[in-house]
Amino acid sequence: MAMRHAGGSAISIDGVSKQYDSEQGTVQALADIEFAVEPGEFVCIVGPSGCGKTTLFRILAGLESATRGEVRLDNQRVTEPTPDMGIVFQEYHLFPWRTVENNVAFGLEEADDLSAAERSQRVQQMIDLVGLDGFEDSYPKSLSGGMKQRVALARALAIDPALLLMDEPFGAVDAQTREMLQAELLDIWQETSKTILFVTHDVEEAVKLADRVVVMAKEPGSIRDIVSIDLDRPRQRADAEFGEYYKQVRDLIYD
Amino acid sequence: MATDVQQEQAAATADSELPLVDVDFRRAAFGTVGLALFVGVWWLASLVQPSYVLPSPLVVADTATVELASGEVTTALVNSIQHWIPGTLIGTLLGIAAGVALGWSSLLDDLSSPVVRTLRPVPPLALIGFAIAWFGINHAGAAFIIAIGAFWINFYASYGGVEGVSEDLLDVGRSLGVDSDLELVRKVVIPAAAPEILTGVRTGIGRCWMLVVAAEIFGVPGIGRRILRASNNLQVDVVITYILVLSVMFLLVDTAYRALQRRVLVWR
């Protein structure tokens, strides 16, 4: 498959606000969120629960609309889900009736410019990339959480999106698997030069992965600060500098 | 390869080989005992009742042999099948189509809700007048009655199945480039609702065998007609014989369907 996007691509969030009408009156879920992500950059969004991370994620993905402001991907306004953005959810949301192979192939079936041979080659490539060769014919029910998330990642990457948008993707797997998946995601990121926007509530995860960490505050959901993490990878939790970044982000969240 | 993948390798390969029909011998043994008990109680009851109220199993066996040998059973069965099959097929397909359409589109649902609620409580038997007027006293008329029964069961099963499809799966489908409703229904909604839809089909198949009697009440020949005629003549042994024919047919079709269903839903 010809790469539609040589590198990553920039996404910008311009003054996004979201209001809900509830029984208690109008709730301001997000207030004036503004930041931009550079092509190929890995950005994590962290914040306390209730800060509107998931709402922001859904607006970024085009699954929900903003009350004010807009999201632009490649300078195109995002109003609905687009194959230029690969989405990975915490709960995987695999198609249970499809095998691993057919889950990964789902998005490619929509691409008319591919021959069947190119398609299956691309699918195999993605399955190898996430380390699931040998599981092509398994159904999701027989996979562990970590493996399901690998399938979801391969499925999102298969359509070669400019941007990967991930909502607490490793929140539902055990600590050991999470560490492994984090390392693999970094490898995949370096290999494919995708832009990654990664929502998490785990400060350590954010400091370990991101080029920059967007720290959110709640009531209303807004940006408290954006912290650049100037550390070489792979990053070690035990490093003194890691600890300093960790403390800095943590203090921003809990002060 | 990562360790969590390796750990899963054995487990995943183990359950990929699912037998098409698994025979549970314990259940089969208990089932046989239960059946024997039922026939025993029937036989005991028949001892204290005159034959026109409750013939003994032996009398019924004799009658069944005669009916089978004379070809009466075959004739009746061939007749019934000629409206059971088209009635069940058409009712099932239309029911699924309507259930999916209304379950998916709230516009269609709102539009048709009053009509649906008006027609829903009408028993198929009450529509015999229409069957005669629109199709005549023939297989088509009987198929119409059967189709009505199949329609509602499949309509509600599919409707419920489609309503229960997770919004998240639809989001994933859209994010992977599915941009038309029709495509989303075909690629996500119907497969996701398949377990409910297929359960509806199974219930419908059973219901349609029951409706064979109602569908033949106005003179179309078949098993139901034989049962009705024998009832009028107080030939209870003949009635039971043809009830058993219905039961055996249901059992055969249901067993075949279940095997098919297991195969289609192997992912569950």
- For residue A233, give the CATH number of its domain: 3.40.50.300
What mean pLDDT comes out for the span B100-114?
94
CA distance A169 to chain B (A): 14
Q: If pLDDT is split at 50, 70 and 90, which confidence band does A200 have?
A: very high
Of A87, A137, A146, the CB nearest to B4: A146
Check pLDDT > 80 for residue A7: no
For chain B, the first-to-last Cα distance in angstroms comes to 27
Q: Does residue A72 belong to any structural domain of this protein?
A: yes
Q: What is the extent of the structural domain holding A32?
A: 9-84+202-255
What mean pLDDT comes out for the span A65-73?
90
What mean pLDDT comes out for the span B109-118?
93
A27: exposed, middle or buried (Cβ count in 10 Å: 0-12, 13-18, 19+): middle
For residues B237 and B66, is the Cβ–Cβ distance under 8 A? no
What mean pLDDT comes out for the span B100-129?
92
Q: Does residue A157 belong to any structural domain of this protein?
A: no
Check pLDDT > 50 for residue A4: no
Residues of chain A in contact with residue B1, where contact means CB-CB under 8 angstroms, are 131, 133-134
User: Strand A25-37 vs strand A11-22: parallel, antiparallel, or unpaired?
Assistant: antiparallel
Q: Does residue A233 belong to any structural domain of this protein?
A: yes
Whole-number pLDDT of residue B4: 62
What residue in B sits closest to A155 (Cα-Cα)?
Answer: B176
Residues of chain B in contact with residue A148, where contact means CB-CB under 8 angstroms, are none
Whole-number pLDDT of residue A253: 87
Average pLDDT, rounded, for chain B: 90
What mean pLDDT comes out for the span B100-104?
96
- Cα angle for residues B2, B6, B11 (degrees, 5° grid): 145
What mean pLDDT comes out for the span A99-122?
89
What mean pLDDT comes out for the span A244-253?
89
- Residues 6 or more apart from A179 whose CB is under 8 A from it? none
Q: Find, among A46, A20, A19, A22, the residue nearest to A31 by Cα.
A: A19
Q: Flag if A142 and B8 touch (Cβ within 8 Å).
A: yes
Residues of chain A in contact with residue B192, where contact means CB-CB under 8 angstroms, are 95-97
ipTM above 0.90, yes or no: no
Q: Give the number of domains in chain A.
A: 1
Q: Does residue A134 belong to any structural domain of this protein?
A: no
Residues of chain A in contact with residue B176, where contact means CB-CB under 8 angstroms, are 83, 106-107, 110, 155-156, 159
Q: Does residue A144 belong to any structural domain of this protein?
A: no
Check pLDDT > 90 for residue B62: yes
Whole-number pLDDT of residue A166: 94
Alpha-carbon span B160 to B163, nearest angstrom:
5
Higher pLDDT: B159 or A34? It is B159
What mean pLDDT comes out for the span B122-138?
91
pLDDT in tens, B176-228: 989 899 999 999 999 999 999 999 999 999 999 999 998 998 889 999 999 99
Residues of chain B in contact with residue A62, where contact means CB-CB under 8 angstroms, are 175
Alpha-carbon span A168 to A201, nearest angstrom:
7
Q: Does residue A128 belong to any structural domain of this protein?
A: no
Percentage of residues in chain B with pLDDT exceeding 70? 91
Q: Flag if A107 and B177 touch (Cβ within 8 Å).
A: yes
Whole-number pLDDT of residue A224: 86
Check pLDDT > 80 for residue B5: no
Check pLDDT > 70 for residue B22: no
User: Strand A163-167 vs strand A85-88: parallel, antiparallel, or unpaired?
Assistant: parallel
In chain B, % helix, strand, coil (3-state, to 5) comes to 80, 0, 20
Whole-number pLDDT of residue B13: 47
Q: Flag if A141 and B171 touch (Cβ within 8 Å).
A: no
Q: Flag if A138 and B12 touch (Cβ within 8 Å).
A: yes
Helix (H) or strand (E) holding A18: strand A11-22
Q: If pLDDT is split at 50, 70 and 90, which confidence band does A5 have?
A: very low
Q: Does residue A113 belong to any structural domain of this protein?
A: no
Whole-number pLDDT of residue A234: 85
Whole-number pLDDT of residue A3: 42
pLDDT in tens, A176-193: 888 889 999 999 998 888
Average pLDDT, rounded, for chain A: 88
Residues of chain A in contact with residue B166, where contact means CB-CB under 8 angstroms, are 93
Q: Find, among A127, A128, A111, A131, the residue nearest to A119 by Cα.
A: A111
A238: exposed, middle or buried (Cβ count in 10 Å: 0-12, 13-18, 19+): exposed
pTM confidence score: 0.84
Q: If pLDDT is split at 50, 70 and 90, which confidence band does A138 have?
A: very high
pLDDT in tens, B159-187: 999 999 999 999 999 999 898 999 999 99
Fold classified for B55-264: MetI-like fold (1.10.3720)
For residues B125 and B217, is the Cβ–Cβ distance under 8 A? yes
Chain A 114-153, residues with CB within 8 Å of chain B CB atoms:
131-135, 137-144, 146-147, 150
Alpha-carbon span A228 to A210, nearest angstrom:
8
Higher pLDDT: B137 or B24? It is B137
CA distance B25 to chain A (A): 27
Q: What is the CA radius of gyration of chain B?
A: 24
Percentage of residues in chain A with pLDDT exceeding 90? 38
